Structures are given as C-alpha cells and as structure tokens.
Amino acid sequence: MAGSRLAIEELRERFQALTTALKESSQSPLEASLHFCQEFCQVLVEHASRWKTDEDPLPLLEVYTVAILSFAKAASCLSSECENVPLLLEKLSLSCAELLLLLPQHVPGALWEEFQSSMKLAHGLLQESGSTQLCLLSVLAQQDGVWANTTLSSILSNQIPQTEQVHEFLELEGPTLLNMRIKHLIKVDSIDKAAVLAKMCSEYPGYEGKGNFKQTYLLCICMTKSQEQLMEEV
C-alpha cells in the first residue's frame, strides 16, 4: 500500500511538472498543447501499466482520478485548436468509467470520496473551458457507488419502480453510460439483468434512435430464452 501511495504522489508531481512546462513553453499554443498531450499519455501509460485491471483495480482508480484532475487543471492553458485535447479527455473518461464498472461492490470510503470530489472539481474546471467530456463521470460521482443507485438496483432485481422514477434515472445516466452497464452485465454473464435494463432503455421515448437498445435486448433474449419465447418477443 505504501508503494502505491508513493507511486500516486510521483504521478501527481510528474503531471504538475508537465503543466508547469506547458505554461512556460516558448512554442506556439498549438505545438505546446500537442506536446503536453503526448507527454501526458506517456506518463499515464507508464504508471497505469504497474497494475492489472483484474488484480489491482483500486490503485488504477487512483491513477485515473489524479490524471483527470491534473488534465482539467491544465485545460485553461491548452489550445482550442488542438484536436487531441477533447479526444484524450473522451478516452480518459470512458476508460475510467469502464474501470469503475469492474470494481468490487464496495470501494473504500476515502477512495470513493476522493474520486467524487476530484470529478466535481475537474468537471467544473472543464465546463469553464466549454468542455462536457466529463459529464458521464460526473453522474457516477454523484452516487454512493457505481451500482448503488436505488432505481438501478430495483430495475436489476426486476422490481420495476414507477415509470416517472425510471425515466428520471435514464435521463440522468444517459445512453452511453447505460450501454456500458449493459455490456458489462453481459460480459459477467448477468444476461437477465442486462435484458431488463436494455428493455427499459428501448422503451424510453428519450432514447429513440440512440444506443441500439432494442437490438441488445433481443440479443439477450436469444441468449436466455427458447425459440418460441423469442418469436413472441419479435
């Protein structure tokens, strides 16, 4: 654990050094931004490769938390002409969300609180720069845990709440995050739960034309039901 803490502190310092170099750079804003993104990725990959997702997900969550907040703090100095900035942010956000879905049910309180406060601060800083890439992580950070939302728990237990409550939850989460949840449930062989959630999403008017939820639902049905039941659904 001590080694992990030292590694996280070293990571924080290296990102801080990159931000300082960005601010003091004599290059054009675009060149300095491109260089920053390249160096940022190298540092992140180097540190993240110390742990395996399936063996040590919690130190990796710390790595992503530090990385995202560090990037957000540097955002105001990055050129709006640099296409790598939104791309990198998008990758960071999705990779972190994927990791969160893999985490054990209980994340230690201090680590989850650090993630929550960091995402709130990072999302605020990025919004000032006109960026919305952290919306997905911001939604997760508002909850007590990745799978802790009471409406979500009810849906996955097949105890469907009132329509208004379900729609409120779906609107909050957004199609991207819900698609990731469904794919994760399929991956861990919770096909029935994936089917229930996909069905809810496919029936929500706000997601019409988004997310391929109907196809995913039918895929889940193909995996769990007989041909007669499938024909009935079709």
How is 23-74 classified by DSSP, letter by letter? HH--S-HHHHHHHHHHHHHHHHHHHHTTS-TTT-HHHHHHHHHHHHHHHHHH
Whole-angstrom distance, CA of residue 182 vs CA of residue 186? 6
Last residue of one domain, picked from the residues 112, 142, 172: 142
Identify the domain containing residue 157 by its residue range.
150-232
Other Cβ atoms closer than 10 A to 74: 22
- Predicted structure pTM score: 0.88
Are 25 and 133 found together in one domain?
Answer: yes
Tell me, yes or no, whether 13 and 106 share the same domain. Answer: yes
Same domain, 49 and 103: yes
pLDDT of residue 141: 94
Looking at the structure, tell me whether residues 53 and 125 fall in a common domain.
yes
Asked if 101 and 215 sit in the same domain, the reply is no
Indicate whether 160 and 87 sit together in one domain: no
The residue among 188, 83, 108, 99 whose CA lies nearest residue 140 is 99
Q: How many domains does the chain have?
A: 2
For residue 170, the one-letter residue type is: L
Exposed, middle or buried: residue 102 (CB in 10 Å: 0-12, 13-18, 19+)?
middle
145: Cα separation from own chain's centroid:
13
- Domain closes at, from 142, 169, 193: 142
Amino acid 201: pLDDT: 95
109 and 179 in a single domain? The answer is: no
Residues 103, 172 within the same domain = no
Residues 22 and 135 in one domain: yes
> What are the pLDDT tens digits along the chain (234 aa)?
556 889 899 999 999 999 999 999 999 999 999 999 999 999 999 999 998 887 788 899 999 999 999 999 999 999 999 999 999 999 999 999 999 998 866 788 899 999 999 999 999 999 888 888 899 999 999 998 899 899 999 999 988 889 899 999 999 999 999 999 999 999 999 999 999 999 999 999 999 877 789 999 989 988 876 666 666 666
138 with 157, same domain: the answer is no
Sign of CA dihedral 12, 177, 38, 29: negative
The verdict on 224 and 183 lying in the same domain is yes
Residue type, 102: L
* Domain endpoint, select from 142, 167, 191: 142
112, 186: one domain: no
